[in-house]
Chain A
């Protein structure tokens, strides 16, 4: 079974600074998908970024980028120029090769606080 580990239960960062959230996973699959989701106080799950394992290039979405190390099974999220609105729970998630019933496997989450 796949597992996702987020070793940082809580983190804080000053506004405008950069922060990196870590995530490791365990799988025997060669093709898979990795995601970072944000859950703000509203509790609505928001997709931040996704990465396909077969792509070597790290995904980037505006201020959010990942460092995907397939051999190390590591998938960290870097948030640049942190903003107060980035305060949220961040969940790393894994998904096996896509089929209609493939569920997301979530890590336990990292609570990020952006401080003014």
Chain B
């Protein structure tokens, strides 16, 4: 089946620094990728939708200057958390939609801890 990878799986960074999370579709092309945030024991909250080659669309309440999303190719999207603070600590999940079938596949997630 289709595979979506995320890197890193875990990251710890100091407050005020930036961290980049990569999301790759390994065996299919994804015109659209979705970024979610999940707090402990809660559901997935959609942060933004990104299309290859265009600006991401952010959900209401998500700071676009803090969460920078780049979708430069059909297989790679990145989420950069800028000037991270402890409240940005969370589990971030990406999901990629197959350009041909429109099926949606999820990455394994990235646990971000800001100290």
Contact = CB atoms under 8 A, between A and B. Distances in A.
Indicate whether A and B interact: yes
B44 A101 contact: no
Contact of B108 (A43, A104, A109): A43
A100 B103 CA distance: 10
A3 B98 CA distance: 25
20 contacts: A42-B108, A43-B38, A43-B93, A44-B108, A45-B44, A45-B93, A45-B95, A91-B43, A91-B44, A100-B31, A100-B97, A100-B99, A100-B102, A101-B49, A101-B51, A103-B34, A104-B46, A104-B95, A109-B42, A111-B41
Given A45-B93, A45-B106, A91-B44, 9 more contacts: A43-B38, A44-B108, A45-B95, A100-B32, A101-B49, A101-B51, A104-B46, A106-B44, A111-B41
Interface of A: 42-45, 91, 98-101, 103-104, 106-109, 111
Interface of B: 31-32, 34, 38, 41-44, 46, 49, 51, 57, 91, 93, 95, 97, 99, 102, 104, 106, 108-109
